[in-house]
């Protein structure tokens, strides 16, 4: 609440007068509380000194008033500048959002860059800007290229816009980014991803949602999480995601304390690599996942501390039991792991077809 100017001045004057009286009182006490002696009638020089003191006091009060007025003027100027700056940011947000909604792919791409730049400069509303970029990726997009040439050209241009947005997001998740987006929420629910490079990204907090995301690379297209770090505080959901085609790479990824779930995900044809991945801490869940086709390769992976669960899991907090993973085809290869000190849990007594374990490992010993 802003005080009226007169009340503000009165309050400052009272404070100044109180401070002056307090200081004079302390000095008087420090001097031993001397008594004031009257030595006769005032002399002209005494009168002139009294007038000078009165004028000094008046000047002091005037200075206080001037300081209050100057402070109010400066505060008003700064508030006006802040409002103008906020208005400019809001206008930039509207312009970038409008560009993302145009029919021209080049303009949409420019809008993506503008929105990312705005997120860097507007930390108070960074999450909102990120939400807009993620929201664009959640818009419908055909996973397979159309047959006729005009539609194919349009599909390819739209795909380039999406790859650009994914690249902007990934760049801000790496250490050393000018403005880090680590710790913010990312919602890719239902998105279609056929090419993305999250190489070296660090997921250090927030909710990262790949729920119902379709991973469908074309030919040699890949979704790459190589050297990424799922760290303490991150919650990454691949729940109900489908890995249909192409290659999804988690090579040398580190699970160092986050919570990552592939529960009820469907592996229906994509090649999924966890080569040399380090499962050091945190929880990695494959409960209810279905493996129909395509290889899932854990060559060189080390299991030293993470709780990796392919088996049935009871969730007492919500009175529900998550079903075990289903191995109905394809290959899930643990036969060439680098370390099995803290192996995954399967909860199976019989080794299902397609699940390959290190030589000499008994599936019944992996509860």
DSSP symbols for 244-278: EESEEE-TT-EEEEEEEE-TT-EEES-EEE-TT-E
Q: What pLDDT is stored for residue 83 in this prediction?
A: 74
Count how many residues are written for the chain.
367
215, 216, 219, 223 alpha-carbon torsion, rounded to 10°:
-20
Evaluate whether residue 330 is within a structural domain.
Answer: yes
Evaluate whether residue 215 is within a structural domain.
Answer: yes
Evaluate whether residue 232 is within a structural domain.
Answer: yes
pLDDT category of residue 290 using cuts at 50, 70 and 90: very high
Percent share of the chain, pLDDT over 90: 65
> Helices 149-171 and 126-137: crossing angle, nearest 10°?
150
Evaluate whether residue 177 is within a structural domain.
Answer: no
User: What integer best gives the mean pLDDT of the chain?
Assistant: 86
Query: How many separate domains does the chain show?
Result: 1
pLDDT over 90 (residue 101): yes
Between strands 355-356 and 302-303, the pairing is unpaired
pLDDT over 60 (residue 321): yes
Evaluate whether residue 72 is within a structural domain.
Answer: no
Least confident segment among 2-6, 135-139, 193-197, 326-330? 2-6
pLDDT category of residue 323 using cuts at 50, 70 and 90: confident
**Which residues neighbour 39 within 8 Å (Cβ) at sequence distance 6 or greater?**
none
Evaluate whether residue 166 is within a structural domain.
Answer: no
Q: What pLDDT is stored for residue 225 in this prediction?
A: 97
* 70 CB burial (10 A radius; 0-12, 13-18, 19+): exposed
Q: What pLDDT is stored for residue 217 in this prediction?
A: 85
Q: What pLDDT is stored for residue 25 in this prediction?
A: 61
Evaluate whether residue 276 is within a structural domain.
Answer: yes
Q: Which residue has the tokens 């299991």?
A: 303
pLDDT over 90 (residue 281): yes
Mean pLDDT of all residues in 326-349: 92
The CA distance from 222 to 194, in Å, is 7
pLDDT category of residue 367 using cuts at 50, 70 and 90: confident
Which range of residues forms the domain containing residue 239? 184-367
Least confident segment among 171-175, 190-194, 309-313? 309-313
Q: What pLDDT is stored for residue 221 in this prediction?
A: 77
The CA distance from 141 to 213, in Å, is 12
Instruction: Print burial letters for 120-145: b (CB count within 10 Å at least 16), e (below 16).
Output: eebeeebbebbbbbbebbbeebeeee
Separation in Å, CA 188 to CA 130, 195, 343 = 11, 14, 30
Tens of pLDDT, residue by residue over 219-235, are: 777 999 999 999 999 99
By the 8 A CB rule, do 208 and 155 touch? no
pLDDT over 60 (residue 215): yes
Q: What pLDDT is stored for residue 12 in this prediction?
A: 55
**Category of 131 on φ-ψ map: left (φ > 0), alpha (ψ -120 to 50) or beta:** alpha
């Amino acid at each position: 609440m802003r005080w009226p100017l007169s009340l503000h001045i009165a309050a400052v004057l009272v404070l100044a007068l109180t401070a002056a009286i307090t200081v004079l009182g302390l000095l008087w006490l420090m001097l031993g509380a001397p008594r004031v002696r009257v030595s006769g009638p005032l002399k002209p020089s005494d009168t002139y000194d009294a007038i000078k003191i009165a004028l000094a006091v008046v000047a002091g009060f005037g200075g206080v008033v001037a300081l209050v007025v100057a402070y109010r003027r400066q505060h008003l100027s700064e508030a006006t500048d802040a409002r103008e700056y906020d208005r400019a940011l809001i206008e930039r947000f509207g312009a970038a959002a409008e560009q993302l909604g145009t029919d021209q792919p080049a303009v949409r791409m420019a809008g993506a860059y503008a929105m990312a730049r705005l997120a860097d400069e507007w930390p108070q509303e960074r999450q909102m800007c990120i939400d807009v970029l993620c929201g664009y990726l959640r818009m419908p997009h055909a996973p397979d290229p159309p047959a006729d040439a005009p539609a194919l050209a349009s599909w390819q241009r739209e795909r380039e816009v999406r790859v650009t947005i994914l690249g902007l997001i990934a760049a801000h998740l790496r250490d050393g980014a000018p403005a880090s987006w680590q710790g913010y929420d990312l919602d890719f629910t239902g998105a279609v991803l056929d090419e993305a490079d999250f190489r070296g990204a660090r997921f250090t907090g927030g909710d990262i949602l790949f729920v119902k995301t379709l991973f469908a690379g074309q030919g040699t297209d890949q979704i790459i999480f190589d050297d990424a770090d799922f760290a303490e505080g991150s919650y990454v959901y691949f729940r109900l995601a489908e890995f249909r085609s192409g290659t999804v790479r988690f090579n040398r990824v580190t699970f160092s304390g986050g919570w990552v779930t592939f529960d009820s995900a469907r592996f229906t044809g994509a090649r999924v690599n966890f080569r040399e991945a380090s499962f050091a801490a945190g929880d990695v869940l494959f409960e209810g996942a279905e493996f129909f086709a395509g290889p899932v390769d854990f060559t060189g992976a080390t299991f030293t501390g993470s709780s990796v669960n392919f088996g049935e899991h009871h969730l007492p907090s919500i009175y529900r039991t998550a079903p075990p993973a289903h191995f109905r085809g394809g290959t899930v290869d643990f036969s060439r792991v680098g370390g099995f000190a803290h192996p995954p849990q399967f909860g199976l007594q019989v080794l299902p077809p397609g699940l390959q374990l290190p030589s000499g490992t008994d599936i019944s010993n992996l509860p």
